[in-house]
Structure formats: C-alpha cells, structure tokens
Amino acid sequence: MADLFAVGDQPAPAPAWRTSVPDWEQRIRDRRSLIPDLPLYDAVAEKALRIFKRLRVPDLIGQPTYGEVCDDWVFDFVRVIFGSYNPDTRRRMLKEFFLLVPKKNGKSAIAAAIVVTAAILNERPEAEMVLIAPTQEISGIAFKQAAGIVRLDPELMRIFQVTPHQKRIKHRTTLCEIKILSADGDVVTGSKAAVVLIDETHVLASKQKAPDIFLELRGGLKSRPEGFLLQITTQSKDRPTGQFEKELRRARDVRDGKLELPLLAVMYELPDEMSEKEEWRDPATWPMVNPNLGRSVMAKDLADDLVAAEADGPEALALFASQHLNVQVGLGLKTGRWVGADYWAGAAQPALSIEEVLATSEVAVVGIDGGGLDDLLGMTILGRHAQTKVWQSWSRAWADRDVLRLRQSIAPELEKLVEQGELTLVDNIEEEANPEVVDLCVRVRSAGLFPEQDGIGMDPEGVGSIIDGLVAAGFSIEDIRAISQGYKLNAAIKTTPVKLKNGSMVHCGQRLMTWCVGNAKTEARGNAVIVTKAQSGSAKIDPLMSLFNAVQLMSWNPVAANTKGAIVIGSDYEVA
C-alpha cells in the first residue's frame, strides 16, 4: 500500500469512493459516461448544479446559461466535484479531479463557471480560490470569463466585487477571493488556496519549476479539508514529459485501478490500440473523444482541419491529432523526422542490457559523440550477435550540470533520464564523465570483443581528453577512428532504419534513445540525408549520433581480435 501515499501523501479513498473505471475503453466506444457510480451527497450536488446551470456564458451570442449550452457530461462532472463534499463533516471525499478533453470542448468556460460556483458555495471566511492559466494572455481571458459571469447576473454583482487590474473577484460577505494567476508571471508560494483550478496543465507542467508549483498547491490543500484541485487540459503538443507526464500517468493509473487515491480522472482519449492504428483519422471516432461534438465542436471543421494538416505535413498532423483528438504524440509525427523513428519502437528489446550485449556478441564497437556544456556526451556499444548476427545496441550519456540552466526547456526530461540511470550529471566532464567512457571501453576490450583496429569511432571535435584517457588505458591510435560527420555519415543514417525495419538491429528500449530519436530532424544535402544538431534545435541527439558512429564501424564487418568471440551454450552465455 506504500504506493498510495507516493504523491501528496493522500490516503486511499474508502471503497465506495474508489474512482477506477476498468471498462473505460468500452465506455469510450459506446459514448457512455466516464464517471463511475459514487455515493454523492445529492443535496450538495444538486444545489451546485442549479447554480452552475444558472450562470450565463459571457462570450456567446445571446449570453445563454450554462444549463442551456452544456451537455450532460458537463453536468455529471459538476455534480461529482461538488457532490463529493460531506456537509456534515465538512470534508471532501475526493480531493482532486483531472479532466483531459480536446480543444473547443469548453475547457476554459467550464473552469471559470466552476470556480465562480465554488466561491458562491464556499463557507470558509477569506478563502482563496485560484485559477492558474499557463500564460499572462490566457490568464486575462480566464479573468474576463469569470468576471463576465458575475457581471451578467445582478444578484452576483451585489455579492461580488470585481477588481480588473488585479484580476481578482471578492465575495463581499465571506471575503472569499477568486484570484486569476498566470504561470509565467505569478509565483505560487505558501499557497493556502481552498480551490485550485489549473487550465491547460500540459503547458504549466512543462515548466522547469512545475514540480515545486504542484508541491506548493497540494501542500496548501492539506489544511483545507473542504478544498479540491482540478486540472483541465488537452494533450501535450509534443511527447509528454516532466511534471505533465507524471500527472498524466498518475491519472491513468487511478482510472485503470493501478493506484488508489481520492482522485477522479475523466479522460477523453482513444484506447492505445485505436491510436496506434491511427483510427483517429476516421471521423466515426471523433465523437468518442469530443463530448461537445455538435455544440462547440463541429465535425465539418475537424474534417477540414485534418485535410489541411495532412497537406502541411507530419508536424501539423501531430498538432491536429494531439489538440483536437487527444492523441498522445509519438515518434512517428515529427516534421522532417529521421525515418528510423518509424521503426525504433518495434526494434526495442527492454530485457536487453549491456551485460547481455557483451555476453552474446562475437564482436563489438563503440561510438562516441561529445559536446559543450549545453550538450550531452553520448556513447553507444554496438555488438554483433554470435549466432544470429543481429546488431545489438546499448547507449549511455553524461552532461554538465549547467545544462539544466542553459537548456531549461528540456531540463525535466534530463532529470527523468537521471532518475532512470541513463544519464549522469557531473560537475566536470573531463574529470568525471570521460573516465567512465574509458572504463566502458576497457570493459569491451576485456571481453575480447574489439576488432584489431577501428574499434572506437568518434566525432573528432572536442574529444581530445577522451583520446588521451584511452591512450593512457593502453589503447593505440589504430583503435580509434575519426568518423566524419555531415554528409559523410549518410551511409550510417540510411543503414540504421533498414536494419531496424528488417529486424537485423535491436536496442535496449532506453528512454534516452527514444527521446533522442524523436528529436532527430533530417536535412537533404545533395543526394545525402544528414541529421544535424542545428536542425534538431535545443533538443538533444548526441547519443543517437554516437549510435551512427558505431553503425559506421560495424558496417565495415569487423572481426574480433580475439576470434573466439562469445561462446553460446544453449540459452546461457559465457564470454570466452
């Protein structure tokens, strides 16, 4: 049960309040409610729903009420948020709510109306209700929405005081205050908010300080037993990473019954099988993930957007799928992507390790790619299996700690790689990382797997100290080959996808390499295709470049200096 307290020290809910929806995939297909049966406090739920339905939508023609424009799924969601509050104990049975829904399904409008409803029902004097938007611009939109709701109701105008320049709305009696904050301008410290609404979690959670922000927000709720945290978001525009990846995984685990927390996850996303088969291209699937289809979302508009995205290329298609259909961006949806990305996942063998590579290979080579303080030092060991002749790849990376400051946009991903043991952060690359690279090369040599020459290939730029370390460890200059980069690496860049597709090359399924492969962008240079750091921007590809260096060496069909190589006995492996 220890896992139940891993995030926010929240206890598991009582059995009647468990929120797993194990049949969610069938519910999605049938367009049924994604909210399980819960013992709601009906009087509270119905009162909140009456208030919510009465509020008017300020940015629609005719300014209709929410009751007139919203579908039943919204009403069900509002009922469960407020109906999970026990009016006798003044404690909430569910503390968090996570709504994943595509664009144009009324996220911001729903968020504004929920926070106003919460302020009306609030019983705590001077309570704080915080609506956090990802940017200053969106926070202005969020405030305009909430303030507009108040201004359209004469009774609410008597109850609340609106202060535009501070983006605040205060209840005149309880002094409860709605604060509209922006993640890029306001600092959330010492939060004591009773209600926290986060609009577009994927943007907020991509920021480097997101873990601290979420810790502060959840910490503040501990002293507010009646409070709740609500996240309303679309999918990320890129592969989920950092805090958003954690929030997404946590919500899915609760929904799937893998984790028990007082959290309700309502997630309009297709089952993995349908996403992998790209069934989201079929308009018949769109109502499954767009609950407002026919209201705020029109099928004809989505169809037109899909046609335009397909014409504009993979990046536009990825953006359309992630934002309008909640398809999680994967390796296959990158503009100018390296074609090997299409086959990378299929060649993964997660059980494969460096020990297995060394034990089963008849020969092995090493590729190295270094860089500056804001780059990674990448290394790949590529072995050729003694029996099957399949190429087997294992990679590793190091980086100066300053990269977290210099490349803040990728800092959450780097920290995750450190956590998984695939990246090491050091204070001095030459003194801490380079010796580890040399030690791994010595390990390959000790296994008798290096060819007589050209066993180590590297980009000749910025690797002088590594060469010095290799020579000091007994390697000769003939062991080290400078691998020309740019168009001269074309053969390796084209060979690798072919071998990944036909199964003659496998890898360890490391997150490090999956990330780098997803980052890789190509550029046509005459008849050659090159993968360059300039094309890939701030996202890192150094370990992938080290793989290309190793592939270049292995393509020369080397033979181990120790010609015995690896002895394979049944299913057990011994190094000769």
Percentage of the chain exceeding pLDDT 90: 61
Query: What mean pLDDT value characterizes the chain?
Result: 87
Angle among Cα 41, 43, 45 to the nearest 5 degrees reads: 65
Whether 237 and 369 share a structural domain: no
Answer whether residue 433 is part of any domain.
yes
**What is the Cα–Cα distance from 441 to 366, expressed in whole angstroms?**
7
Contacts of range 402-405, beta carbons closer than 8 Å, 24 or more positions apart:
402/373, 402/374, 403/373, 403/374, 403/375, 403/376, 404/208
pLDDT > 90? residue 80: yes
pLDDT > 90? residue 229: yes
Q: How many CB atoms lie within 10 A of CB 335?
A: 13
Q: Give tens-digit pLDDT for 358-397.
A: 999 999 999 999 867 778 999 999 999 999 999 999 999 9
Structural domains of the chain, count: 3
CB proximity list for 405: less than 8 A, separation 6 or greater: none
Whether 27 and 96 share a structural domain: yes
pLDDT > 90? residue 184: no
Range with the poorest average pLDDT among 44-53, 246-255, 317-326, 370-379: 370-379
pLDDT > 90? residue 314: no
Answer whether residue 489 is part of any domain.
yes
Whether 281 and 257 share a structural domain: no
- Bridge partners of 267, per DSSP, are 100
Residue at which a domain ends, from 268, 285, 302: 268
Identify which of 143, 122, 144 has the alpha carbon closest to the alpha carbon of residue 131. 143
Residue 546 confidence (pLDDT): 94
Element (H, E) at 155: helix 154-159
Answer whether residue 335 is part of any domain.
no
Whether 303 and 202 share a structural domain: no
CATH number of 164's domain: 3.40.50.300
Whether 163 and 35 share a structural domain: yes
Answer whether residue 331 is part of any domain.
no
Whether 298 and 427 share a structural domain: no
Q: Residues 93, 214: contact at Cβ < 8 Å?
A: no
pLDDT > 70? residue 569: no
Residue at which a domain ends, from 226, 241, 268: 268
Whether 449 and 547 share a structural domain: yes
Percentage of the chain exceeding pLDDT 70: 90
Mean pLDDT computed over 133-157: 89
Whether 164 and 301 share a structural domain: no
pTM exceeding the 0.75 threshold for the entire prediction: no
Q: Name the DSSP letter for residue 18.
A: -
Residue at which a domain ends, from 268, 289, 316: 268
Whether 211 and 284 share a structural domain: no
Answer whether residue 497 is part of any domain.
yes
CATH number of 559's domain: 3.30.420.240
Answer whether residue 171 is part of any domain.
yes
Whether 318 and 447 share a structural domain: no
Answer whether residue 330 is part of any domain.
no
Q: Residues 504, 389: contact at Cβ < 8 Å?
A: yes
Whether 318 and 237 share a structural domain: no
Residue 526 confidence (pLDDT): 56
Residue 81 domain boundaries: 2-268
Answer whether residue 332 is part of any domain.
no
Whether 111 and 168 share a structural domain: yes
Q: Give tens-digit pLDDT for 281-301.
A: 999 999 999 999 988 899 999
